[in-house]
Amino acid sequence: MPRYAVFGSTITLANKMEFAGPHGMVHISEVTKNYLKKDKYYFVEANVQHLFDFPTYIVSKLYEEYHEDYLVVENNLNMSGGLFKSPSQSPISKAKNMKDNSKMINFST
């Protein structure tokens, strides 16, 4: 089986982005974000300006899934007649479980 060793600034950047991003999620540059279809993905800006000279983003989930979650919350609010939900079912509790409860995520150490 062949083995490869890859070196250079691109690999260094990829390693830094992997280290700075949350486990199990995709951390991308703004250039990559611009290539992706904005109606298909939901992007969260990563708060790691101290590591990079450019904005970076986390691909949170498919846009349809995010939109469906929003509609479920909106429908529940309309049906319940209020803004309060039980703690285990609240959107905030769900977001904390996903570690995605804000537009800006701080990954600093």
Cβ atoms of 56 and 48 closer than 8 Å? yes
Enter the pTM of the model. Answer: 0.49
DSSP at 48: -
- pLDDT score for 101: 42
The Cα–Cα gap between 24 and 91 comes to 21
Cβ atoms of 44 and 68 closer than 8 Å? no
- pLDDT score for 102: 46
The Cα–Cα gap between 72 and 68 comes to 6
DSSP at 17: H
- pLDDT score for 92: 52
pLDDT tens digit sequence for 86-109: 455 545 555 555 544 445 555 554
Cβ atoms of 108 and 48 closer than 8 Å? yes
pLDDT tens digit sequence for 18-71: 888 777 788 888 888 888 877 777 788 887 777 777 888 888 766 555 445 444
Give the mean pLDDT of the chain.
67
